[in-house]
Amino acid sequence: MKKKWRSSLTVSVLTAISVLFLALSFGQEHLTAQSIAVEAGVLHTGVSEPIENGVVLIEDGVITAVGSASDISIGDQFERLKAAVVTPGFIDAHSTVGLSGIYNVDADQDQLETSSAIQPELRAIDAYNAREELVGYLRDLGITTVHTGHGPGAVISGQTMIVKTGGGDTIQEVLMDSVTALAMTMGSAVRSNFDKPGTRSKAVAMLRQALIDAQDYASKEDKKRDLGKEALQALLEGEITALVTAHTVSDITTALRLQKEFGFPMMLDGASEAYLLIDEIREAGVPVIIHPSMIRTYGDAQSASFTTAGVLAEAGIPVVFQSGYEAYVPKTRVVHFEAAIAVANGLSHDQAIRSLTIDAAKLLGIDDKVGSVEIGKDADLALFDGDPFEYITNTTAVIINGEVVYRAE
Amino acid sequence: MINRRILWMAVVVIVMQLTAGLWMPAGSWLTGGLSEVWAQEKPLAFTGAEIVPVSGDPIADGVLIVQNGKILAVGAAGEVDIPRDAEVRDASGYVIMPGLVDSHSHIGQGDGGDRSSALHPDVRIMDTIRPDSDTFKKAIAGGITTVNVMPGSGHLMSGQTVYLKLRPANTIEDMLLYVDEEQTIYGGLKMANGTNSLRNPPFPGTRGKSAAMVRSLYIKAQEYQKALEAGAEDPSKMPKRDLQMETLVEVLEGKRIVHNHTHRHDDILTSIRLAEEFGYRMVLHHVSEAAYVAEEIAESGFPASIIVIDSPGGKHEAVNLKFEMGPALEKAGALVGYHTDDGITDSRLFLRSAAFGVRAGMSRKTAIEAVTIANAKMMDLGDRVGTLEPGKDADFILLNGDPLSTYTHVTETWIEGNKVFDRNNEEQLPFATGGPDVFRGTGYGHHDHDHGRAQ
């Protein structure tokens, strides 16, 4: 593992040197000028029926052609990559990787600040380790975009952001969206991390008061800057979203109640018992980032079911997948492993692919760049030697911004 | 692992049971109390299914006949005589394989390790298990029929493990699987090294101290063993009964297998070193860095019961845990099994672990053995469960497709000739999928989650 780390470091240094050289000599804008033709036995675009014998052309980091092999001629300048199945790079709609690290020691766990239960001012960009091994682990499995940041466990634990899992070694290089959501939690997890609140109802009272204070702050002309209130103001003005982790019926209904009271945009996260509140969730127009299918069935999530993603999708509720936050092992889950269990338990294969790609991109507001194989979009692709949901399938290559960032030996 | 004596015994037992089955009244030789009552007397024959006997190649159009809780016959259609009085069940389209055997689990809601000391060879997990626990239903929904339930973790010796057959039962006694002829041994001894048991005194603070504490206790047990021998000659020399020492003497005599939690490659080697010093039998568990010392493991002859975790890390000594560990052990020639470590991984998805082995390069044959017969051997139960062979317990599962496919479900689980799970039964389906209050009070207190941060 260490060896791999060094070699990737060497590669990055070499890349940096060659990039610098290219920039000096040609002054070109697109520096990853690699032309790749991806030939797929089955090509999932995320926005159409799967294409058999599909081809994707990649130039200057973006997709320049998509279609059937019979319709696209591949010029000599293209490096050819073949795979049984090709999909858009998968999107993990909610994770903490990069803030939480592989070793699970104080030095690499920054997803939860326990000094106070409400801290909307904590920025994810200030704590993200782009070189975290778990990020590379997810990337090499085909996950190219991650919505990550502060985790569950506080009333408001902080901000989240969106990054790519490759194409750079610093937060600046991989950042797609610096502030996406405020991570909130309703449920029993909060009181185990804080003395105050000690109950669910106190947590809600504290949250409502903070939002009311932010309304007051927003209405004032002359004011001292307050980072926390600024973040809440952004939420109230709809610039960012509330990512509310809630599992039980009472916690989900409380989340919906608050959303109605303050009118902020909201994503429901976890939602183990969502199958008991289909009408309410649909009526609220709230999307669901469903709990990992393999979440452990205890505590607030004891009633979790493998079938929930399928049930919600069937009811017309937008549902996407997450790796979630894990306190122990596995330190991160893998979104398409989770989606696979949902497909085995009622979710359609096509919907699962869309949930992992274009639907997640739309939900996160990044569908202009990623989430589908379409002309003009970032060339982020995952290549597999079979159905990506089969346990025995391996990822054979991963492309981010037109660059091959992983290739199976 | 399996010595000649046990192998020979297995042959005798199988032959005896085969002949017994012909004339003895139903269930008279069954050890399980409840199963005597409900094992069917008429033979039951499954036809048309693909049968994966594990003891041999898959049979495309196979026949499985069971009676009185035992397997009567297995073979290809046309090659097996179906008794005239047999009830015949058409299982076309299904795959039938042995009930799964899990060599390391924490189902049953038993107590975790006791913090008063790092060494508890006297502690029995069987005294704290709930036979009616939902976790057992979860396991049979995943096709698991035999399981090694372990105490702990977080101790050098957290206690005695228990080998269970997941029969519906009111008492733990009705679930026990005995492994010796005197019917006194029905489990192993859980040990651990590495960071698992490091903390403040009376626990060890370092790896060196851990090994010294374990060795000191085994030396004491050797002395106790000698005193017992002397006592056998001269009753006045018989030592006082000591539960800790008695258990360790069983270990020293090879009657009780040590199940040793170990992750880092050097901890694996230390486990082997200690087992060889005292001559006890051992199964290595987790073995996260197995690939680094696969040759040494194979050479030692100690089997490895390993785990599949979806990502490496979560603790320092598991950062190199990869799907490739299973294939590496196979390649080196070690006996390898997978385990759930439930609640670490989910009993309902046990076959997934075998499939992930195949994903990383393991042969399908070894992968299937790794969730059946390999684990049975690691508990001295290879003569009773783990394959579909005449004379063995009629523990088997029906699947609606390739056992290693994501899309395949266990549709039925049978234990000793009785159906204990049926996916088509609406009341039982939720044990496979989850749902409102299906799993209650099934938190897993066995693992020391101080290693991780609270959520």
- Do the chains contact at B452 and A328, CB–CB below 8 Å? yes
Candidate from A17-31, A207-221, A243-257, B213-227 with smallest mean pLDDT: A17-31
Q: Is A330 at the interface with chain B, CB within 8 A?
A: yes
The band of B430, judged by pLDDT with boundaries at 50, 70 and 90, is: very high
Are residues A358 and A48 in contact, defined by beta-carbon separation less than 8 angstroms? no
Write the DSSP string, B229-284: HHHHH-GGGPPPP-HHHHHHHHHHTTSS-EEEEE-SHHHHHHHHHHHHHHT--EEE
- Do the chains contact at B438 and A345, CB–CB below 8 Å? no
Q: Give the model's pLDDT for residue A28.
A: 40
- Do the chains contact at B444 and A296, CB–CB below 8 Å? yes
Q: Give the model's pLDDT for residue B441.
A: 63
Q: Give the model's pLDDT for residue A4.
A: 37
- Do the chains contact at A296 and B433, CB–CB below 8 Å? no
With residues binned 3-state (H G I as helix, E B as strand, rest as coil), the percentages for chain A, rounded to 5, are 35, 25, 40
The band of B111, judged by pLDDT with boundaries at 50, 70 and 90, is: confident
Q: Which residues of A touch B438 (CB under 8 A)?
A: 297, 303, 305
Q: Which residues of A touch B434 (CB under 8 A)?
A: 297, 303-307
- Do the chains contact at A305 and B349, CB–CB below 8 Å? no
Q: Which residue of A has its CA nearest to B432?
A: A306
Residue B434: is its pLDDT beyond 80?
yes
- Do the chains contact at A304 and B346, CB–CB below 8 Å? no
Enclosing H/E stretch for B47: strand B44-51
- Do the chains contact at B406 and A343, CB–CB below 8 Å? yes
Q: Give the model's pLDDT for residue B26.
A: 36
Q: Convert the pLDDT of each residue in B61-107 to its tens digit.
A: 999 999 999 999 999 999 999 999 999 999 999 999 999 999 999 99
Q: Which single residue is written with the structure tokens 């070699």?
A: A7
Q: Which residues of B touch A273 (CB under 8 A)?
A: 436
DSSP B453: P
The band of B33, judged by pLDDT with boundaries at 50, 70 and 90, is: very low
- Do the chains contact at A303 and B346, CB–CB below 8 Å? no
Q: Which residues of B touch A306 (CB under 8 A)?
A: 432-434
Chain A nearest-CA distance from B352, in A, is 7
- Maximum pairwise Cα distance, chain A: 66
Enumerate residues 6+ apart whose C-beta is below 8 A from A42: A50, A51, A52, A54, A84, A85, A86
For residue B162, the cross-strand partners are B149
Query: Which fold does the domain B100-385 belong to in CATH?
Result: TIM Barrel (3.20.20)
Q: Convert the pLDDT of each residue in B367-426 to its tens digit.
A: 999 999 999 999 999 999 999 999 999 999 999 999 999 999 999 999 999 999 999 999
Bridge-based pairing of strands B258-262 and B282-286 is parallel
Q: Is A128 at the interface with chain B, CB within 8 A?
A: no
Q: Which residues of B touch A344 (CB under 8 A)?
A: 406-409
CATH architecture of the region A90-364: Alpha-Beta Barrel (3.20)
Q: Give the model's pLDDT for residue B17.
A: 44
How far, in Å, are A94, A261, A311, B427 from residue A290 at the CA level? 9, 24, 11, 25
d(CA B29, CA B258): 29
Residue B11: is its pLDDT beyond 60?
no
d(CA B155, CA B214): 11
- Do the chains contact at B409 and A344, CB–CB below 8 Å? yes
- Do the chains contact at B314 and A331, CB–CB below 8 Å? yes
Nearest CA among A359, A285, A275 for reference residue A320: A359
d(CA B62, CA B78): 9
What is the average pLDDT value for chain B, to the nearest integer? Answer: 90
**Of the candidates A294, A333, A393, which has its C-beta nearest B346's C-beta?**
A294
Most B-contacting residue of A4, A291, A302 (CB-CB within 10 A), to test interface: A302
Q: Give the model's pLDDT for residue A34.
A: 81
Three-class SS state of B164: strand
Provide mean pLDDT across the span A150-168.
98
Nearest CA among B326, B193, B333, B184 for reference residue B258: B193
The band of A175, judged by pLDDT with boundaries at 50, 70 and 90, is: very high
With residues binned 3-state (H G I as helix, E B as strand, rest as coil), the percentages for chain B, rounded to 5, are 35, 20, 45
Are residues B317 and B350 in contact, defined by beta-carbon separation less than 8 angstroms? no
Enumerate residues 6+ apart whose C-beta is below 8 A from A269: A94, A152, A243, A244, A245, A246, A288, A289, A322
Provide mean pLDDT across the span A47-69.
98
Give the pair of three-digit tokens for residue B230: 């002397």
Calculate the CA B147 to chain-centre distance.
4
Q: Give the model's pLDDT for residue B19.
A: 40
Chain B nearest-CA distance from A3, in A, is 12
Torsion of CA B153, B156, B158, B161, to 10 degrees: 90
Size of interface A-B (CB pairs under 8 A): 148
Q: Convert the pLDDT of each residue in B137-153 to its tens digit.
A: 999 999 999 999 999 78
Residue A126: is its pLDDT beyond 70?
yes
The band of B41, judged by pLDDT with boundaries at 50, 70 and 90, is: confident
- Do the chains contact at B434 and A389, CB–CB below 8 Å? no
Chain B nearest-CA distance from A63, in A, is 30
Are residues A177 and A191 in contact, defined by beta-carbon separation less than 8 angstroms? no
Q: Which residues of A touch B346 (CB under 8 A)?
A: 294, 296
**Of the candidates A307, A333, A391, which has its C-beta nearest B352's C-beta?**
A391
Q: Which residue of B has its CA nearest to A295?
A: B346
Nearest CA among B386, B189, B249, B379 for reference residue B303: B379
Q: Give the model's pLDDT for residue B2.
A: 44
The band of B58, judged by pLDDT with boundaries at 50, 70 and 90, is: very high
Q: Is A151 at the interface with chain B, CB within 8 A?
A: yes
Are residues A334 and A24 in contact, defined by beta-carbon separation less than 8 angstroms? no
Q: Give the model's pLDDT for residue A353.
A: 98
Nearest CA among A399, A391, A388 for reference residue A355: A388
Residue A311 CB neighbour total at 10 angstroms: 19
Residue B294: is its pLDDT beyond 60?
yes
**Which residues in chain B are classed under CATH 2.30.40.10?**
1-97+388-427
In CATH, which of 2.30.40.10, 1.10.3720.10, 3.20.20.330, 3.40.50.150 is domain B1-97+388-427?
A: 2.30.40.10
- Do the chains contact at B309 and A329, CB–CB below 8 Å? yes
Strand ranges (E), A44-128: 51-59, 62-68, 79-88, 90-95
Q: Give the model's pLDDT for residue B39.
A: 55
**Angle subtended at Cα B289 by Cα B448 and Cα B368, rounded to the nearest 5 degrees:** 90
Q: Give the model's pLDDT for residue A1.
A: 27
Q: Convert the pLDDT of each residue in B156-211 to its tens digit.
A: 999 999 999 999 999 999 999 999 888 899 999 999 999 999 999 999 999 999 99
How far, in Å, are A197, A207, A211, A248, A267 from residue A118 at the CA level? 10, 8, 11, 21, 18
Residue B14: is its pLDDT beyond 80?
no
Residue A6 φ/ψ, nearest 5 degrees: -60, -40
Q: Give the model's pLDDT for residue B442.
A: 55
d(CA B95, CA B235): 58
Residue A354: is its pLDDT beyond 90?
yes
Residue B325: is its pLDDT beyond 50?
yes
Q: Is A337 at the interface with chain B, CB within 8 A?
A: yes
Q: Which residue of B has its CA nearest to A386?
A: B359
Q: Which residue of B has its CA nearest to A140?
A: B311
Residues of chain B above pLDDT 70, percent: 88
Q: Which residues of A touch B312 (CB under 8 A)?
A: 1, 102, 133, 137, 331
**Angle subtended at Cα A133 by Cα B264 and Cα A43, rounded to the nearest 5 degrees:** 120
Q: Convert the pLDDT of each residue in A5-31 to its tens digit.
A: 334 444 455 455 554 444 444 444 444
What is the average pLDDT value for chain A, to the nearest integer? Answer: 93
Residue A358: is its pLDDT beyond 90?
yes
Residue B221 φ/ψ, nearest 5 degrees: -65, -35
Nearest CA among B37, B92, B39 for reference residue B70: B39
Candidate from A192-196, B22-26, B360-364 with smallest mean pLDDT: B22-26
Residue A72: is its pLDDT beyond 70?
yes
Higher-scoring residue by pLDDT: B286, B6: B286
Give the pair of three-digit tokens for residue A278: 């289909």
CATH architecture of the region A20-88+372-407: Roll (2.30)
- Do the chains contact at B433 and A102, CB–CB below 8 Å? no
- Do the chains contact at B319 and A345, CB–CB below 8 Å? no
The band of B112, judged by pLDDT with boundaries at 50, 70 and 90, is: confident
